[in-house]
Amino acid sequence: MKIALAQLNYIIGDFNFNTQKIISTVHEAKRKGADLVVFAELCVCGYPPRDFLEFSEFIELCENAAQQIAKECQDIACIIGLPTRNPKIQGKDLFNSAYFIEQGSVKAVVNKALLPNYDVFDEYRYFEPAVDFKCVEFMGYKIALTVCEDLWNINDNPMYVTCPMDVLSLEKPDLMINIAASPFAYNHDEERVLILGDNCRKYQLPLFYVNQVGAQTEIIFDGGSLVFGKEGQLLDEMTYFTEELKIYEFDKGQVKGLKPIVHDPQSDIAQIHDAIILGIKDYFQKSGFTKAVLGLSGGIDSALVCALAAEALGAENIMAVLMPSEYSSDHSIQDALDLVMNLGCKHEVIAIKEATAAFQNMMKPVFKDLPFSVAEENMQARSRAIVLMAMSNKFGYILLNTSNKSECSVGYGTLYGDMAGAIGVLGDIYKTQVYKLANYINRERDIIPQNSIIKPPSAELRPGQKDSDSLPEYDVLDAILFQYIELKQSSASIINMGFDEALVRKVLKMVNVAEFKRNQAPPILRVSPKAFGMGRRMPIVGKYLS
């Protein structure tokens, strides 16, 4: 039996696009001699569809698309993922299902049993878990077909009380096939290889695993579909961050013609780079946009976003706006101009001195003789946001946000000012990672000016301002933030690691009281195991550690 794994990029709710892509791939797989072609979880509608699932028409369109695909499956079988209706009145109205299609009709339906309801996942909000399990028979083989999480209940701390493969293994299947929508995080590929290999070792079965690729707003899928032998040895690993169709031959319990390989991942920074490029590209393409605008200060964050956007969209589609104030240094302006020249992107210089002076004069009767403070600083940041949004409205640019995760964590940003934007490019990357990513961008030649990388970070909203005036050094700050945000460590645990107690309590308080800002921030491209946004849900009004 020849099995094709189709690692594709879908658009949520674009049934015509997804259906035609699947049908085209079915035909391609057939031409290449495949007997079965396997697509990803919820491929028909795109993952995650979220509350689109609450519309009856959406479910009907899924079924209509599935029937169109079925008609094209002549002399080749396929597996597709889609939401289906639960015929029982009890329980949730839908299942997260896999259709096994053969000779023009649906021959078997497999429903997902283990429904993740953590981090970015909300599946139990919509779906009823399956309780019945049966293998699918095809070409004389018994296939244990499962959906994503159904293979993830195999560790020392199981999250679920059932395990579908324990039941399916009683039928003595010949192989496992798992269809998935497994989001990217820079450490997730190693975990994925380990978990799936453990399944093969436990059940003594080979596994064909297909993951989708592409970005859906903030969630990025990295592909990396996998094939394992029955001893858990990794036999093949499909390309990351790229669509691919690959065919494998299975016979007499073995994947033919493949020798064991070692998972050799890229560095975390290289993976983050590729993920962000895909995230930017898909956000624009799937939204129907082509041109981006951003404020370019001469600092490392905006320089990095500009370089990433130019790589993702083409430099000719990037408008970098330099907006010097009376506190901007000459070298900052020159650093920004050097970057523009290195990239070849468009730029404008629009000084904000007159605008901020006008706002200050307007507010003078109210502010009276009160001293210069954060109010005047923020007027500058918000003046810049007005300029950038005016460019967006007038010319159709989409504004990229340039705030990093360290700043987002502690609220070091101006709401409706530098926190404005349609998508947050660096919001899941700590400042220390920003430097590493900038150096990665410069791995072959200097694109980001060295001065932008080595100079002390500053918002330049008052004379001589530096980030270190308000924040600890970033290597210390980021270490504390990582323990609290990614690892969910308590304040006591972090203090016991050797960090200054007063500093830890200050930082954690800053994180928690800044929740109201993050709640109004743009969606952030997710590259870590715990990103701000839908994967980290905290109350705005609360007193824990604040």
118 in a known ligand binding site: yes
What is the rounded CA–CA span in Å between residue 351 and residue 332?
13
Catalytic residue at 148? yes
Please provide residue 14's backbone torsions phi and psi, each rounded to the nearest 5 degrees.
-95, 80
Annotated catalytic residue: which of 2, 21, 30, 41?
A: 41
Looking up tokens 């700050």 gives 477
The rounded distance, in Å, linking the Cα atoms of 383 and 391 is: 13
Determine whether the annotation assigns residue 517 to a binding site: yes
| 182 assigned to a ligand binding site | yes
Residue 124: φ, ψ to 5°: -70, -10
Residue 52 CB coordination number (10 Å): 18
- The alpha carbon of 179 is separated from its chain's Cα centroid by a whole number of angstroms, namely 19
Nearest to 525, CA basis, from 280, 242, 187, 318: 280
> Any binding-site annotation on 301?
yes
Establish whether 300 is an annotated binding residue: yes
Q: Measure the N-to-C terminal CA separation of the chain; round to a whole number of Å.
A: 60
Percent composition of the chain: helix, strand, coil (DSSP 3-state, to 5)? 40, 20, 40
Is 495 annotated as a binding-site member? no
Task: Let me know if 41 is a catalytic residue.
Answer: yes
Whether 78 is a known active-site residue: answer no
Q: Is 440 annotated as a binding residue?
A: no
Nearest partner of 322 among 235, 388, 242, judged by Cα = 388
Q: Where are the alpha helices (DSSP H) in 34-144?
A: 56-71
H helix and E strand count, the chain: 16, 20
Look-up: residue for tokens 């000016």? 449
Given 148, 163, 345, 408, the catalytic residue: 148
Report how far apart, in Å, the C-alpha atoms of 44 and of each of 63, 203, 302 are.
9, 30, 37
- Which amino acid appears at position 93 of this protein? D
Which segments of 288-329 does DSSP mark as H helices, in order?
300-313
Specify burial of residue 377 (Cβ count, 10 A radius: 0-12, 13-18, 19+): buried
Tokens of 315: 């430099």
Residue 302 annotated as binding site = yes
Considering the candidates 2, 30, 112, 286, report the single residue annotated as catalytic.
112
Rounded to whole angstroms, how far apart are CA atoms 41 and 181?
Answer: 5
Binding-site residue positions for deamido-NAD(+): 378, 407, 517
Binding-site residue positions for ATP: 295-302, 402
Binding-site residue positions: 118, 182, 295-302, 378, 402, 407, 517
Could you give the residue numbers annotated as active site?
41, 112, 148
Binding-site residue positions for L-glutamine: 118, 182
